[in-house]
Amino acid sequence: MSSSDRRTELFLIKLGMAKQVKMENVDRISGLHDSILIHILSFLSSKQVIRTSILSTRWRYLFALLPNLHFDFEGDLWRRGYTSYRQIDIYSYGCLVDKMLITHNMTNIDKLRLKCRTMIDPDRFHSWISAAVHRGVKHLDLNISPGKFTTRPAVLFTCRTLVTLKLCMEFDFVLDVPKGAHFPNLKTIYLEEVNFSNDDSVKSLLSGCTSLEDLVIEKFLMSNISNFNISHHLLKRLTLLYTYQSDYGWITIDAPNLVYLEYDDELVAGYSLQNLQSLVKADIDISNSLEVDGSTFFRGICNVRSLILSDTSLELLLSCEPLPVFANLVKLKIHCSNDLRPYYDQWEKGLETLLSSLPELEKLEFNQEALISLPEKVPSCLLSKLKSIKISGFTDERDCIGKAKYFLKNGRALEKLTIRTALRCSEERKSKISKVLSASPRESKHLCIFIF
């Protein structure tokens, strides 16, 4: 008996399930309500759950009532001590899935998670997906190799019960969504390493999701796409991470109800950002050089209220002519990359230039190196709106302290100044910074200074 099997048996014994435990001739465990027994089974692996069916007739088909099914082929075999997979192992595991998913389909499925990078027969795989759809699956999480979808299971694209769909594939898998795709209840889509067949396939997927609110696309291959068009009237959250082969492709975003945008990538050939008036928060990390103009992109998100920018994104934004005005922005954070710090002194302009385009800014967080020089004209936000400033990477150098003094002198509405010192800054230097700033002239009468 393997150590894993032994642990399983001990676990079952502790629960009183390995044998019918009788107290005063009453089987108290088997007498529990189905919902309690199902809750107990939910803590076991799929293989362990099947083993409980031999305990008694009461337990024989309880496993079929489980609402959440999780199959991890490679993970389950690894936990059993297998370092390579034999054909008999693949066949045996397939039978296990058949038994739990197809043979005893007594109840609806809330969530099915299937992780399988090993080549299981595609027809068998399709039968699992079909069974899940027919059993009303709400949350489907597939992490598979492309061989499983040599032909697509058509029933998947008309699943009326799906609420969440997560597909993790490989780049050589091409997703061809039929025009008749219809997911009336699908609210969340997560796609990783998915390559759409063409522009129409993207359109078919999004137009078929009439309730879509959250879309995440990671490691997306644009080799077959000329215009990646994300147009949806209900979409609230959009995350785009790492597109590939995007030198000639466009990205279009038309989402009047979008409140959150995360974009971490290089610039593509072109953008069309429309109807983003509801945008509340954006997290932008654009990493390529300044050879591409980012004006269209930043003008498209200028209605945002809260903005996180990487330092490379800040540099790209500052290169835009004219500089966009973020009329509604109240919170700005500049994220500093350690890799770029030696190059800040090569910037012609920094955060001080952007501040003039942020008339409503109330909260600012940045690394002191992003402020290349002090603004010649005091920004209007500093005179009337800015309430909280956090400066990181701070030292006791004269130039650095001068930046903090500038905010103290001109920040009429400033309530909180937080100084996070650099790692090399000793307690003695922190004390020096505290004394200098505490004695500096300040415009605000209700200002607190915190130094860490």
- 3-state class of 293 per DSSP? coil
Please give the Cα distance from 168 to 271 (Å, whole number).
Answer: 26
Q: Which amino acid is at 208?
A: G
Q: Which of 388, 351, 354 is nearest to 373 (CA)?
A: 351
Q: Is the pLDDT of residue 80 over 80?
A: no
Q: Is the pLDDT of residue 370 over 60?
A: yes
Please give the Cα distance from 373 to 350 (Å, whole number).
Answer: 7
Q: Is the pLDDT of residue 70 over 80?
A: yes
Give 339: exposed, middle or buried? Use CB within 10 Å, 0-12, 13-18, 19+.
exposed
Long-range contacts of 30-38 (CB under 8 A, 24+ apart): 30/56, 30/58, 30/59, 34/62, 34/65, 37/62, 38/62, 38/65, 38/66, 38/67
Average pLDDT over residues 306-326: 94
DSSP letter assigned to residue 324: P
pTM given for the model? 0.84
Reported as a single tens digit per residue, the pLDDT across 107-153 is 788 899 888 876 667 788 888 889 999 989 999 999 887 554 545 66
- pLDDT at residue 247, as a whole number: 75
Average pLDDT taken over every residue of the chain: 83
Q: What are phi and psi of 180, to 5 degrees?
A: -85, 10
Q: Is the pLDDT of residue 211 over 50?
A: yes
The answer to whether residues 268 and 250 touch, using CB atoms and an 8 Å cutoff, is: yes
Q: Is the pLDDT of residue 298 over 90?
A: yes
